[in-house]
Structure 1
């Protein structure tokens, strides 16, 4: 590492780059062509993010459930509250819609008004027969339709929550798509190219307003929103950063060079996703604009240094060589610390975050290399900047800003400490108010039509996300025992008492319906049969497979496992944990663990468990990032006190952000979990720049602490301000997203980086001045392992050392 950071290495690298300009550009072009060729392997995620490790017991239980009953997320529901649906004209349209849906290859079957099945008692043969609830030949008969409406709402409680809701007399058609395409591209094609156009055309032609939802439908539209937003993120990031860049440098040429560099970086980022075979998710989708935001500060440092050198001596070749030599090793270190902040996600054991960490950290290093190679080479073919391009180096408002910083540190250090301690205390209060959210729906675009449909189904059917219970009776055909049916009914009653959950559906409902049918379909007999009644009814139950097919599989093929399905409203992790805490003792009471095994599962539950898992790993991830930076500081400065001082101005902004989340009601969730490691990895770059300059000034000024601090502040404040403003507005781009989590991520990271800039420009120098006696001497602040080459004096010293 020391060799990598030595003057000899960087001088040699600068010489190689400038002597082999054509080769360098050729390498960049070939690499870009390669990454562009990998775009064809990019694919978008068609499943929910599984935040838990594959071998986690929650995932094991879920796979066990799928083995017994198949995928539970293959239901799409279509509903209407149109009160005229039972009139001949509109009923005819509804029948045509159902028939059309059945023609699609992706649809397994559907259940709704036109094809609803009911049981009829055949007393002579002592069997139940499954017949159509309505004779479609009577679809033009208004009276027959009114009778069908009465039958449905008053005599078929079995279909409550399946085919209708009594709240607003809502009619629902359940469409089950084939399980083998639930997590495949075919699902997306069906929803976007077939279902949505069909629904739009149906509403336009018939005037019947329909609502559509269900997990396959929600997932498809949500994924499509991610796809649509990527291009806007990239364009917005390029637009915002280029405007800010031009505002600072007042040069179209410099702005164009910077934009070319980051655009190539974006191409590499997409190519990396394709080459590694990673899916584009709500997290990996933000990597390309992230590369733009992080890459622009590299361009700022390199171009700013080039213009400073040109202004100093006017020699272009010498300027370009010094840009690579002086800025190269400094930006390498800052990019490595930023990359390490992202790399900590690799160790979370979550596939989603691990992939995000790998791609982000690799491309942060890549954008550094691109900046170092492209900018000096392109400038070498151009004439030196004119005087008008260098005017920004002496902007009065920048000088006024720097003077204010220096004056504040000189005269108001106590005020800085009072404000810092006050902010810390308030932040800690806010942290205690932070909540955890594991909602699948919370981050989805609230203004989208499909989200409004979700709210409709939550209101009418008490939920849209399936929550599954699998009951293992530990013996073959154990489910059909009356005692076990009664236990399942007891569990169902407990679930019904929870307002966030819908009335569950299970084999008990089928048994109740069988009893109702035995008593001539009288709805008052919709109840579990007694033991004596079971003996009478059992001969009638010979084949109810067709009815069960239309409502879901209640029992596995062995009769040992029963399935109980309820639908959950959009609740957070804490609410779900409260529900679990309430149900668990009841389940153990109803189903003694020594005789039964009952598991609660489902994709929504897995997502919430994953959120809790990630929160625990957040501490590990952030702690690891802090440890890595601390070790880097220790290697860099070889002083424990300097490690502490360097961490304080970077940890305080994180605490401020966490407190702000508590006060603003922004919960901890997978998207906002990223904020802390990202912000810490980026903000520490300013600390490195300042302390490196401070270490250099101490040596040059014979350990005069105050002079060294003020000179360091004046030297680094401008570049820190420039890069912080670019990062602030760059991350603010994410706030244009329709996804709540992405908006929160952009706003929180922007705020954190702004806090970090102020902390590094005010608090850090104040600490150095206040603790000058204990840290700033040759014994406690030893010669650093890392030699940041930032001045002509550094170059001279290194050359003399090499000559000796």
Structure 2
């Protein structure tokens, strides 16, 4: 057994023997790994959160093959003076809207421009049928004509709350774009030009304000959020980690060594990610921050043990060897369990979380290797000075106090756990896709104003199939569309619904065909409806088309509804109600389910929770089995699982009381934190078991554990909690929730490890002083 231990420690001994060579080799390796950073790209794609096998994504792609993509930019036009009573349907503003509409066609990759002034209206005059723009010409526009446009627009369900606000104080210009599959350059180009276009309009029309939102701007904001977090949070994480090290270690050389490991591990892990072709997203950009926190937790145990050994009289080299000998097994075990937790994230049906788990896993491997090579080499070159170790005596006193108060502490912890568990009932799986970004982003501010003043930004689409070519013109099908859209308009949060039956009714009314049987304004003659649409399509003005509403074979059409003020939970509920309505009222071939990028995000959390349940359970048993094998005790393995599942349960309970809503971050937090929060328990139990085997009583062993690892436990927990708390500074909601909730769980885990684990050990070992036997 002794020989095996020495073999395991050989890398650290070689590092001590050849410290300069070790550092140089690591620096060269670091440069090679960091070179992969040039291969990293930052995603613009909102769909990157979904795997290629995601059923909703596959449904959306099939929908977009049949109809057009919703790659839009929405320009929301309002008045800068919010107190003004003027309306956007005045002569001057209508002319400005017409001008903007013409100029919007010049935006790169634009395929369609919709606005109040170019909306196609059906009319008949002297028995002649026609379709023309709402404002055919801005020349000679009179106040009376402008008032007529307002009256007609406010009465039109295809315009109001979509292109014109119900109070006529805001209007929208919606521009759709054709994008390739990989569209980073195009999205960047369009977003920059859209913002420049809005600035141009505001210069040309000083009284008007133009807010820019839409799917293209959302894509650009994903990219912006990734860059902002990288530039802001990673440096903050390093500074915070450095501050923690300096405060707790009180050693210049020790602090430099630890901080150097944090920098190498985090930078190298991102470089390796580049070599493996990972794409950076707002979620995976959190990886270097997490690596910094975990690397600090690993290295600090060794450095504190070196200080402790020097304080007891060992020289620097002997102290390094002693510290590594004491911590090798525990640090290896904690890194292994932490790695398992992050590898479990590969089961999430969200590639950014897969990437996050894999990048952090790489960082864990690197920090482990650095701890047993770079660390001894660096401490050989930068030895720690002798310092008094008053913390050991203080921690031993804390341990004795906990022994003395063990039963009140256990009772108090049980009561606290039960009280917080009750908060689980308050947790609601909900979030708001539109508000994933906070108000530091222009997109969020523009979107808030758009929803407040004009329209909703969440949409839901239905592919209403008939199963036969030309079936879209059949009266029964059109009646189903009319009834479905009428029902949708009664649903809370729905502000606009568009379908082809509305066009049918308008044409029939304009044609004024006498004697033709109708129901709900729709003719009972499919051939007549077909002729109507042919005439309508031939009469459409430039830029207008119906091919985005009905497919080429005319076998299927599109129903689009716009939702306002709904969260993901509300959207899921509406999605299910709509599916139920169709199942009860539509022909079997027409029954379908809604789809859109908003639907994908609405189901993102629930989909990932389902996929992560099995992965989390497997991780629990693997981690428990590893700890049981390492400690050679099934009892301690079960105990470690119990004390480390509780922090996640309590953390969710606290979240339920304080924040209530949990989104996609909730799907991966339990699996991720299992491996993290177990660290303190592993160090505690391994040292406790060793001391009990030496013949110490339960109370003496607990006090001794606190004296040796108590400070390290505080530092690791503080570093992890503060490191993840840095993520709460992110402007991206998923990172904020992930960071804040993990911080809560880490702090809870420390409390359970300190105040619940010792009383439980007293119960298990019955407080006797007999030498602990190994369990087989």
- Is 1:659 the equivalent of 2:653? yes
State the TM-score, normalized to the length of structure 2.
Answer: 0.91
- Is 1:458 the equivalent of 2:457? no
Instruction: From the superposition, tell whether residues 350 and 777 of structure 1 become closer, same or farther in structure 2 (CA, over 3 Å).
Output: farther
Aligned to 2:107, the other structure's residue is in SS state: coil
What is the CA-CA distance between 1:632 and the residue it aligns to?
0.6
2:733 paired residue number: 740
Instruction: From the superposition, tell whether residues 715 and 321 of structure 1 become closer, same or farther in structure 2 (CA, over 3 Å).
Output: closer
Aligned to 1:13, the other structure's residue is in SS state: helix
- Is 1:575 the equivalent of 2:574? no
- Is 1:232 the equivalent of 2:225? no
Aligned to 2:429, the other structure's residue is in SS state: coil
2:340 paired residue number: 340
1:418 paired residue number: 411
What is the CA-CA distance between 1:467 and the residue it aligns to?
0.6
| Residue 550 (structure 2) aligned to one of 550, 555, 559 | 555
- Separation in 1, partners of 2:274, 2:130: 55
- Separation in 2, partners of 1:529, 1:518: 12
2:714 paired residue number: 721
Instruction: From the superposition, tell whether residues 484 and 776 of structure 1 become closer, same or farther in structure 2 (CA, over 3 Å).
Output: farther
2:107 paired residue number: 104
| Residue 707 (structure 1) aligned to one of 691, 700, 708 | 700
Aligned to 1:736, the other structure's residue is in SS state: coil
What is the CA-CA distance between 1:539 and the residue it aligns to?
5.8
Instruction: From the superposition, tell whether residues 741 and 576 of structure 1 become closer, same or farther in structure 2 (CA, over 3 Å).
Output: same
- Is 1:394 the equivalent of 2:394? no
What is the CA-CA distance between 1:69 and the residue it aligns to?
1.0
Instruction: From the superposition, tell whether residues 418 and 87 of structure 1 become closer, same or farther in structure 2 (CA, over 3 Å).
Output: same
Instruction: From the superposition, tell whether residues 102 and 442 of structure 1 become closer, same or farther in structure 2 (CA, over 3 Å).
Output: closer
Instruction: From the superposition, tell whether residues 278 and 528 of structure 1 become closer, same or farther in structure 2 (CA, over 3 Å).
Output: farther
1:97-176 map, 5 Å: 97-121=100-124, 128-136=129-137, 138=139, 141-143=141-143, 146-147=146-147, 149-150=149-150, 152-153=152-153, 157-176=157-176
| Residue 665 (structure 2) aligned to one of 667, 671, 675 | 671
Contact 2:648 2:670 in 1 (8 A): yes
Contact 1:241 1:293 in 2 (8 A): yes
- Separation in 2, partners of 1:145, 1:19: 91
Contact 1:406 1:710 in 2 (8 A): yes
1:791 paired residue number: none
What is the CA-CA distance between 1:565 and the residue it aligns to?
0.7
- Is 1:505 the equivalent of 2:498? yes
What is the CA-CA distance between 1:246 and the residue it aligns to?
0.7
Instruction: From the superposition, tell whether residues 6 and 517 of structure 1 become closer, same or farther in structure 2 (CA, over 3 Å).
Output: farther
- Separation in 2, partners of 1:137, 1:94: 10
Range with greater deviation from structure 2 (578-587 or 495-504): 578-587
What is the CA-CA distance between 1:690 and the residue it aligns to?
1.0
Instruction: From the superposition, tell whether residues 252 and 427 of structure 1 become closer, same or farther in structure 2 (CA, over 3 Å).
Output: same
2:74 paired residue number: 76
Range with greater deviation from structure 2 (312-321 or 690-699): 312-321
Deviations along 1:550-576, one digit per CA (max 9) or x if unpaired, are: 577111111111110112235344323
1:214 paired residue number: 214
| Residue 420 (structure 2) aligned to one of 423, 427, 432 | 427
Instruction: From the superposition, tell whether residues 729 and 599 of structure 1 become closer, same or farther in structure 2 (CA, over 3 Å).
Output: closer
Contact 2:523 2:529 in 1 (8 A): no
- Separation in 1, partners of 2:700, 2:7: 32
**What runs of 5+ residues in structure 2 fail to find an aligned partner?**
81-85
Instruction: From the superposition, tell whether residues 419 and 380 of structure 1 become closer, same or farther in structure 2 (CA, over 3 Å).
Output: same
- Separation in 2, partners of 1:172, 1:181: 27
Instruction: From the superposition, tell whether residues 203 and 638 of structure 1 become closer, same or farther in structure 2 (CA, over 3 Å).
Output: same
- Separation in 2, partners of 1:84, 1:189: 33
1:770-785 map, 5 Å: 770-773=763-766, 781-782=774-775
Instruction: From the superposition, tell whether residues 182 and 274 of structure 1 become closer, same or farther in structure 2 (CA, over 3 Å).
Output: closer
- Separation in 2, partners of 1:263, 1:686: 23
What is the CA-CA distance between 1:269 and the residue it aligns to?
2.4
1:202 paired residue number: 201
- Separation in 1, partners of 2:674, 2:526: 69
- Separation in 2, partners of 1:429, 1:749: 19
What is the CA-CA distance between 1:273 and the residue it aligns to?
2.6
Contact 1:87 1:142 in 2 (8 A): no
2:621 paired residue number: 627
Instruction: From the superposition, tell whether residues 775 and 42 of structure 1 become closer, same or farther in structure 2 (CA, over 3 Å).
Output: farther
Deviations along 1:350-383, one digit per CA (max 9) or x if unpaired, are: 433222222211211112212332222223223x
Contact 2:612 2:667 in 1 (8 A): yes
Deviations along 1:1-54, one digit per CA (max 9) or x if unpaired, are: x99x93122342223223343442233222222222222221222222555543
State the TM-score, normalized to the length of structure 1.
Answer: 0.88
Aligned to 1:601, the other structure's residue is in SS state: coil
What is the CA-CA distance between 1:655 and the residue it aligns to?
1.6
Contact 1:463 1:570 in 2 (8 A): yes
Range with greater deviation from structure 2 (534-543 or 727-736): 534-543
1:59 paired residue number: 57
What is the CA-CA distance between 1:234 and the residue it aligns to?
0.7
2:4 paired residue number: 6
- Separation in 2, partners of 1:682, 1:201: 52
- Separation in 2, partners of 1:137, 1:732: 56
- Is 1:46 the equivalent of 2:44? yes
Contact 1:479 1:562 in 2 (8 A): yes
Aligned to 1:544, the other structure's residue is in SS state: helix
- Separation in 2, partners of 1:459, 1:317: 67
Contact 2:461 2:594 in 1 (8 A): yes
What is the CA-CA distance between 1:162 and the residue it aligns to?
4.1
Range with greater deviation from structure 2 (530-539 or 435-444): 530-539
Instruction: From the superposition, tell whether residues 204 and 295 of structure 1 become closer, same or farther in structure 2 (CA, over 3 Å).
Output: farther
2:83 paired residue number: none
Instruction: From the superposition, tell whether residues 263 and 144 of structure 1 become closer, same or farther in structure 2 (CA, over 3 Å).
Output: farther
- Separation in 2, partners of 1:416, 1:566: 56
- Separation in 2, partners of 1:72, 1:247: 53
What is the CA-CA distance between 1:99 and the residue it aligns to?
3.4
Range with greater deviation from structure 2 (687-696 or 155-164): 155-164
Deviations along 1:497-534, one digit per CA (max 9) or x if unpaired, are: 111223211111221232343259xxxx9973333697
- Is 1:495 the equivalent of 2:488? yes
Contact 1:106 1:181 in 2 (8 A): no
What is the CA-CA distance between 1:133 and the residue it aligns to?
3.0
Deviations along 1:107-133, one digit per CA (max 9) or x if unpaired, are: 223122454433344767x6x444333
- Is 1:606 the equivalent of 2:600? yes
Contact 2:222 2:281 in 1 (8 A): no
RMSD over aligned Cα atoms? 3.1
